[in-house]
Amino acid sequence: MIYLDNAATGGFKPNSVIETTVSAVKYLNANPGRSGHRLSKTGAEFIYSARKKVSEFFNNGEIDRVIFTKNCSEGLNIAIHGVIGKGDHVITTCFEHNSVLRPLFTLESKGIISLTIIYPENKKCVTVKEIENALLPNTKLVIVNHISNVTGSINNVKSIGEFLRGKNLLFMVDGAQSAGHVKIDMQKFNIDILSVAGHKGLYAIQGSGALIFNKRVDISPTYQGGTGTESFNTFQPNCYPEKLEVGTLNLPAICSLEEGIRYVENSLDYLEIRLYEMTEYLIKKLSAIDKVKIYSSPNPAGIVAFSIENLSSIEGAERLSNEFDIAVRGGFHCAPLMHKFLGTDDEGLIRVSISAHNTKRDLFLLVSAVKTICSF
Amino acid sequence: MIYLDNAATGGFKPNSVIETTVSAVKYLNANPGRSGHRLSKTGAEFIYSARKKVSEFFNNGEIDRVIFTKNCSEGLNIAIHGVIGKGDHVITTCFEHNSVLRPLFTLESKGIISLTIIYPENKKCVTVKEIENALLPNTKLVIVNHISNVTGSINNVKSIGEFLRGKNLLFMVDGAQSAGHVKIDMQKFNIDILSVAGHKGLYAIQGSGALIFNKRVDISPTYQGGTGTESFNTFQPNCYPEKLEVGTLNLPAICSLEEGIRYVENSLDYLEIRLYEMTEYLIKKLSAIDKVKIYSSPNPAGIVAFSIENLSSIEGAERLSNEFDIAVRGGFHCAPLMHKFLGTDDEGLIRVSISAHNTKRDLFLLVSAVKTICSF
């Protein structure tokens, strides 16, 4: 199989990640931090080390404000439901995934929040001016998708963050498709809240993710439960990370996340350039095929979205899988407004998502397959 | 190390569980069910197979009403926050873990629910009569801890369920310490909602758990997001399991859960008897030591709680770890009301939790260590 669905789940895991995970599964079967014995303490040390690594990698300045989640969606939900109150106004964009849109639409439909969704005029990315125009006195939260999971298009979260600095609101970024692909410096970019997936660009296993925030942020816990601390407190402890981490932590996944970050942290520039060049190459080759329409520009997330004339994206992806054993994704990618924005809400888009470990041969075979499909 | 902290996280994982997990981590790196390609479909088949296995094992009668969670606490929270509405009355017990108590106290403090907590008169387990006496016309939910994580004491959920059958309310069971240790037949016991951990008695890895319910139950989703289905639906899809499963599923953990259930399903009777006998043996031996007071009866969860005169439980557990390399847990075990009930809210209890894979030698060495500690 040629695996080009890395934006869904990264298909390549480094040996270091696999070995770390396997070691945890085999030799670290104890509840980290819950008991005082050697193995529990060792687990707690691994958790702390991973928390420190995540904090340093995204530079939030606060180790204890890294919350381990099971996936990116969970982090987005914890934050959205935990910071928004009755009467707040929220600004977001048409680039967002349903993991941002559905919580917001739910809160809007209950009359808790009002919502402004920006459809950028330049058809590419949200501008600072558009954010500025959307601001209201009661704006509490601005949520921006860093890199689109549909097209790979990038919002300039650094400029937006700099503009929002000093304002009485929170700036939240969905880093599902950017973490591990481009540098995210929360302090420099003035990002208050960031949610990331472990199993995509960060090379960790499924079940890993993190919600990362700074001292300006207070998140009310949606779920409550055992933390191994303050047993007699009938409410959730009011300190981080315990406030937002309920129940047994997933040690193998958390260890894999630290190891995945170790894998990318020193080669981020290389990975960024490689994927930019790979997407550039693929876009050039696919553009040359009649019937193919491209919806992406070269990008460091490795995403290239396209359509084939008179063929639904679901069918196109299915043919690539069935006839050529090439794994891509068709459909709407849980981002409904993006398709309305692009005018692809009828047939969706075929999304190719490349990892730095794919080869030009993989792309060559994909292009050949698309050519074959288009030639009939 | 002699590991006797299996109620926190099971220390022994069968080879079949480890190999399945490792295979998923190495060879199944795709997003199950999100894309149409071969690997994604294979992942979806594994997920379905695991869902079927969980459904059959607990006999809820509805495969699609098995929700994969990251731990037992998450399942308890999803259910509690998702079924209770304004003005409802909830009945629960002093045996509960903070993962039940904290959500309930939170809802009570917000004025959403009223709450009755049963402290059984017989000092052992909640009786049907006590449940009956607590019922109010607006009782919506009865939550009972199946086996106490502190002492291993058992509530007769079968009798309680039978008594509640036909009543206009839901019966929920916290199966954290019972799943994998005793048979739980949801249809026979009339249990509407059950939450279980994968990494304790079910021999799966951390990050696995399940919330299981029947057709009488409708759970409003606390979190919303990507499901890979109905992308243009701005709200959470109204069908199970999608309604309650947001974001990428944890395939390795889910595969491990199926394999763990395969491991226990045919030897449940053996495991039950073995742990009963092991706890019986340990209780007999520990009882013979001056200064030791036992708080458990023989039970199939492998739990024996005790105190040592003039020694806090935390210190006792620490000495067992530091001086004898024996892993047990001291403290309050996230169950505050249980300690008030037992009168151990000053010093907590040392909890030994045995797995069927511990040996009599392990117990012999523990008893020797406790004797040594008590002799000074």
Span B246-267, pLDDT tens digits? 999 999 999 999 999 999 998 9
Percent of chain A with pLDDT over 90: 95
At residue B123 the predicted structure's pLDDT band, cuts being 50, 70 and 90, is confident
Q: What is the pLDDT of residue B229?
A: 84
Record the tokens describing residue A164, joined without a space: 């929002």
Mean pLDDT of chain B: 97
Contact A327 B38 (CB under 8 A): yes
Instruction: Check CB contact under 8 Å for B247 and A332.
Output: no
Mean pLDDT of A80-104: 97
Whether residue A242 is found in the same domain as residue A278: no
Q: Are A259 and A17 in contact (CB under 8 A)?
A: yes
Tell me the average pLDDT across B112-134: 96
B327 shares a domain with B242: no
Q: Please tell me whether residues A277 and A243 are part of one structural domain.
A: no
Cα nearest neighbour of A81 on chain B: B223
Residue A192 has pLDDT above 90, yes or no: yes
pLDDT at B155: 98
Is the CB of A102 less than 8 angstroms away from the CB of B234?
yes
Whether residue A362 contacts residue A14, with contact meaning beta carbons closer than 8 Å, is answered with: no
Q: What percent of chain A shows pLDDT beyond 70?
A: 100
pLDDT per residue over B193-223, tens digit each? 999 999 999 999 999 999 999 999 999 999 9
pLDDT class of A123 with cuts at 50, 70, 90: confident
Residue A213 shares a structural domain with residue A171: yes
Name the domain boundary from B200, B235, B265: B265
Assess contact for B344 and B356: CB atoms under 8 A.
no
Whether residues B248 and B298 share a domain: the answer is no
Place of tokens 């495991």: B271
Q: Who contacts A376 (Cβ-Cβ below 8 Å, separation ≥6)?
A: none
Q: Give B62's contacts (C-beta < 8 A, 6+ positions apart).
A: B55, B213, B214, B215, B240
Tokens representing A101 are 């849109």
User: Do A276 and A259 reside in the same domain of the chain?
Assistant: no
Residue A1 burial by Cβ neighbours in a 10 Å radius (0-12, 13-18, 19+): middle
Torsion angle, alpha carbons of B147, B150, B153, B156, to 10: -30
Label residue A374 left, alpha or beta by phi (over 0 means left) and psi (-120 to 50 means alpha): alpha
At A21-45, the pLDDT tens digits run: 999 999 999 999 888 899 999 999 9
ipTM value greater than 0.95? yes
Q: Sorting pLDDT into bands at 50, 70 and 90, what band is A231?
A: confident
Same domain? A64 vs A193? yes
Q: Alpha-carbon distance B242 to B236, whole Å? A: 8
Side-by-side strand order, sheet with A88-93:
A66-69, A209-213, A193-197, A170-174, A139-145, A88-93, A113-118
Residue A9 CA to residue A206 CA, distance in Å, equals: 8
Say if CB A151 and CB A303 are below 8 A apart: yes
Which residues in chain A have Cβ-Cβ distances shorter than 8 Å to B339?
A: 231
Grade residue B106 by pLDDT with cuts at 50, 70 and 90: very high
Q: Which residues of A touch B40 (CB under 8 A)?
A: 5, 8, 327, 329
CB contact under 8 A, A225 and B99: yes
Substitution target in A224, A229, A312, A320 with the highest count of B β-carbons within 10 Å is: A224
A188 and A297 share a domain?
no
Task: Give A210's pLDDT tier (boundaries 50, 70, 90).
Answer: very high
In the three-class reduction of DSSP (H, G, I as helix; E, B as strand; rest coil), residue B230 is classed as coil
Q: Residues with Cβ < 8 Å from A152, sequence gap 6 or more?
A: A177, A279, A296, A297, A299, A301, A302, A303, A304, A305
Cα distance between residue B298 and residue B303, in whole Å = 8
Whether A333 sits inside 8 A of B231 (CB atoms) is: yes
* Closest-CA residue to B334 (of A329, A229, A261): A229
Chain A to chain B Cβ contacts (< 8 Å): 300
Domain of B346, CATH number, reads 3.90.1150.10
- Answer whether the bond into residue B241 is a cis peptide, omega within 30°: yes
Number of other residues whose CB lies within 10 A of the CB of residue A177: 30
Q: What residue of B is the nearest CA neighbor of A38?
A: B321
Percentage of chain B lying above the pLDDT 90 cut = 95
- Residue A329: predicted pLDDT: 97
Split at pLDDT 50, 70, 90, the class of B282 is very high
CA B342/CA B338 separation, integer angstroms: 6
Domain limits at B360?
2-10+268-374
A216 in the same domain as A275: no
| 8 Å CB contact between B153 and B296 | yes
Mean pLDDT value across residues B316-336: 96
CB neighbour class for B288 (10 Å; exposed up to 12, middle 13-18, buried from 19): exposed
Distance CA B287, CA A344 (A): 73
pTM across the whole model: 0.97
Cβ pair A246:B11 closer than 8 A: no
**Contact flag A40-B223 (C-beta cutoff 8 Å):** no
Q: Report the run of H or E that residue B275 belongs to, with start and end.
A: helix B268-287
Domain final position from B265, B286, B303: B265
B275 and B261 within one domain = no
- For A247-351, where are the alpha helices, taking DSSP H only? 251-265, 268-287, 313-324, 336-342
Confidence grade of residue B331 (pLDDT, cut at 50, 70, 90): very high
| Residue A143 to chain B, least CA–CA distance (Å) | 15
Does A36 or A263 have the greater pLDDT score? A263
Supply the CATH number for residue A59's domain: 3.40.640.10
Q: What's the average model confidence in pLDDT over A181-203?
A: 98
**DSSP structure class, residue A327:** E
Q: How many domains does chain B have?
A: 2
Are A251 and B35 an interchain contact pair (Cβ–Cβ within 8 Å)? Answer: no
Q: What does residue A61 show for φ and ψ, rounded to 5 degrees? A: 80, 0
Picking from B16, B31, B233, B243 by the largest number of A CB atoms within 10 A of its own CB, the best residue to mutate is B31
Q: Which residues of B touch A44 (CB under 8 A)?
A: none
Check whether residue B104 and residue B179 sit in a common domain.
Answer: yes
Start-end of H helices in B59-93: 72-83
Query: B96: Cβ–Cβ under 8 A, 6 or more apart, which residues?
Result: B143, B145, B174, B335, B337, B338
Q: Are residues B145 and B89 in the same domain?
A: yes
Interior angle at CA A118, CA A117 and CA A123, nearest 5:
140
Per-residue model confidence as pLDDT tens digits over B44-56: 999 999 999 999 9
Final residue of a structural domain among B219, B238, B265: B265
What is the predicted pLDDT for the residue at B230? 86
